[in-house]
Structure 1
Amino acid sequence: MWELRGLLNEITYINTIMPSPRNSPKNSRDRRALDNRLEFLSLIGQKSPSPPDSPSRRKDYTGSSGSPQTLPEEDCMKLNPSVVDIALRSLLAIDLWASKQLGVCAGESSSWGSARPLMMLIEVSGHGIPWLAVTLYGLCKSDSSAWCEVLLNLLFALVLDLVLVAAVKGLVKRRRPAYNRMDMFATVSVDKYSFPSGHATRAALVCRFILHHFVLALPLRVLVILWVFVVGISRVMLGRHNVTDVICGLIIGYMQYGLVEYFWLSPVSAPFLFSLCS
C-alpha cells in the first residue's frame, strides 16, 4: 500500500516538472539540468517509502539518534575505574601470584613436598584445640590465685579469638586457595573460608600474652617470636591461606590482645569464675 502511494506521488511530481512539447528545453544547458533532475528522482524512487512514524517510534528514534544518553553509574564506574580500584585489583593479583609461588608444600608432589609433614606439625602447634586443652589442664592443676588469674584470662583470649575469627570469616567468605588440600586438623564449617588465618591470629595473640605475663629467659622469648612467624609462613607454604590472610591475621591477633587487657578478668570483676577455679 505504501509502495503504491509513493509511486503515484513520484509520477505526479515527475509530470509537474516534465516539460510539454511546446516548452521543451531549447539549449543544451536546459537539457542537462532536466537530466540531472530526472536522475535525482530516479535515485529517490529506488528507496521504498516508509510509513509515517508513530509517536512511540519517533520517541525511540529521538532517543537513539538525538542527544547522547547518559550511561548508568555502574557502567561508568566499570569504564572509568578509580585509582583505588586499580590499586586493589593489582594488589589482589600480586597476592594470588605470590601465594601460589610460595605454596611449595601444598602437596606431596610439590617442590618441597617432603617437608609437608613438618609443616603440618607446625600447623597443629598453632591450632586452637591444643591451646584450649593445655590451658584448661593448667587451670585444673593450678594452686595459686595469680596463676589461676593468668590462665583464666588466657582461656578468655583463646575463646575471644575463636569467636572473632569465625565472625570475620563468615562475613568475608573468601575461599581458600584452589590448590589447598582439605586435610587440615579438626576443622569446622567456617574453616572452609580463608580470611583471616586463625592460626596467625592465635599465634600473635598468644605470643603477646606470653611475653607480657610469663617470665621467660631471653632465648625462650626469641623462640616464641620465631614460632609466630614460622606458623604464619607454614600456612602459605601448605597452601592453606594467601599471603594477605596471614598478614591480616597477625595484625588482628596483635590487636586482640588490647581487648583482653581492657576486659581483664580479676577476682573483683569475675568472682564467680575464680570461685570455680579454687
Structure 2
Amino acid sequence: MPSNHCRARARDRANLLGRPEFLSLNQTPRSTPARRASQTKQPPPPPPQQQQQLPEEDCMQLNPSFRGIAINSLLAIDICLSKRLGVCAHATSPWASVRSMVTLLALTGHGIPWIFGTLVCLTRSSTLAGQEVLVNLLLALILDVLTVAGVQKLVKRKGPWEMSPSFLDYMAMDVYSFPAAHASRAAMVSKFLLSHLVLAVPLRILLVLWAFLVGMSRVLLGRHHLTDTACGFALGFLHFSLVETVWLSSSTCQTLISIGTLSWSPFS
C-alpha cells in the first residue's frame, strides 16, 4: 500500500513538471548559434586609457571647489539683478514709457557718433594745441572700439535679455555683452575731457554723471549685465592711461593730419 502511494506521488510530480509552464525547468539552457557567434566575435573591451571620455561640461562635479561655488553664486546674483534692472528692455516693461529717452542717452555714448564728431571737429580746428588733443582723442576712440570688440569676440557673453544688436552696434562691432562698450567709452571720454579741458565744477560733475548714466542705460535697456558695465568702466580708465602714456606730440599729429588729407610730402 505505501509503495502504491509513493508511485502515485512520483507520477503526479512527473505530470506536474511536464506541464508547459514548467518545461524550462527541466531543460538546460542552450545558446543559439547566433548568440554563440556574437559571443565569439565580441571585441575585447578597450584599455582604460583609450575609453571615450565625456566632455567636461557633461560631467557633474560631486565635490566642487569653494572658488567654483563662489564664482557661480556671483554670476547667478549678477544675472538676477541685471534682469531686475532691465526695466526698459521691452515695450511691455515697467518703464517702457521712458524707453526712448534711455535709448537716446545710450546713443550719446556710441562709438560711431564720437568718432565722426571728433573728425568733424578736427577738420574745423585751426590751432595746433586743439588738433593735438583731437588726434589723441581719435586714437583713444579707435583703440577703445578695437579692444572692446576683440574682448567681446573672445568671451562671447550674451546679454541678460535675448536681443539682436542694432545696425549701429554692428557698425561699432558692439555685438556681445562683455565688456560694455558704452561704459568703456564714456569712462574714457569723460576722463580724457576732464584732464585736457578747463571746465567749471558744475560741468565736471555733469560729465561724470553723464558717464555713469550712459553705462547704466545699457543695463536698463537689457543689453548688458552689471559686471559688464563695471568691467567696461575699468577698461575705459585703462584706455585713458594707455593713451596718456603714448601721447602723440604736436609734430606727430601734424604728420598724421597731412597723411590723412593727402597733403604730406616726405621730402619737404
TM range (shorter): 0.7 to 0.9
Counterpart of 1:264 in structure 2: which amino acid?
Answer: W
Cα distance between partner residues in 2 of 1:220 and 1:90: 40
- 1:30-57 deviation line (CA, Å, top 9, x unaligned): xxxxxxxxxxxxxxx9997999xx9x99
1:92-241 equivalences in 2 (<5 Å): 92-180=75-163, 182=165, 184=166, 186-188=168-170, 190-241=173-224
Asked if the contact 1:204–1:228 (Cα under 8 Å) also holds between the matched residues in 2, the reply is yes
CA contact 1:106–1:181 (8 Å) conserved in 2: no
Residues 73 and 136 from structure 1, CA distance in 2 versus in 1: closer, same or farther, beyond 3 angstroms?
same
How many Å separate the matches in 2 of 1:252 and 1:192? 17
Structure 1 segments unaligned to the other structure (5+ residues): 1-44, 64-71
Query: What are the residue-to-residue correspondences of 1:245-264 with 2, within 5 Å?
Result: 245-264=228-247
Output the amino acid matched with 1:228: A
Task: Quote the Cα distance in structure 1 between the aligned partners of 2:244 and 2:70.
Answer: 36
- Give the distance between the partners of 2:243 and 2:90, measured in 1 at CA: 37
SS at match of 1:259: helix
Distance 2:175 2:144 in 1: 17
Q: Provide the residue aligned with 2:67 in structure 1.
A: 84
Aligned 8 A contact 1:201 1:253 in 2: yes
Rate the CA distance shift 1:232–1:47 in 2: closer, same or farther, 3 A. farther
1:262–1:46 Cα change, 3 Å: farther
Number of aligned residue pairs: 229
Cα RMSD (Å): 3.3
Distance 1:185 1:221 in 2: 32
Query: What amino acid sits opposite 2:74 in the alignment?
Result: L
Pick the structure with greater CA Rg: 1
TM-score after normalising by structure 2: 0.73
Change in 2 beyond 3 A, CA 1:47/1:123: farther
What is the one-letter code of the residue matched to 2:196?
H
Distance change (3 Å), C-alpha of 1:273 and 1:133: same
1:209, distance to aligned residue in structure 2 (A): 0.3
Paired AA for residue 236 in structure 2 = G
- For 1:204 and 1:228, the matched residues in 2 are separated by 6
- Alpha-carbon distance between aligned partners in 1 of 2:124 and 2:152, rounded to the nearest angstrom: 35
- Which residue number corresponds to residue 242 of structure 1? 225
Q: Quick one: structure 1 residues 221 and 271, their matched pair in 2 at CA, closer, same or farther if it must change by over 3 Å?
A: same
- Cα shift readout 1:155-201 (whole Å, capped 9, x = no counterpart): 1110111110111111111122334464x461217433111111010
SS state of the match for residue 168, structure 1?
helix
Q: Give the partner amino acid of 2:145.
A: L
Structure 2 unaligned segments of length 5 or more: list them: 1-25, 48-52, 264-268
Which structure 1 residue ranges, 4+ long, deviate > 6 Å from structure 2? Answer: 45-51, 72-75
AA matched with 2:182: H
Query: Conserved in 2, the CA contact under 8 Å of 1:105 and 1:237?
Result: yes
The aligned residue for residue 14 of structure 2 is none
Distance (Å, rounded) in 1 between the aligned partners of 2:164 and 2:176: 13
Displacement after TM superposition at 1:122 (Å):
0.3
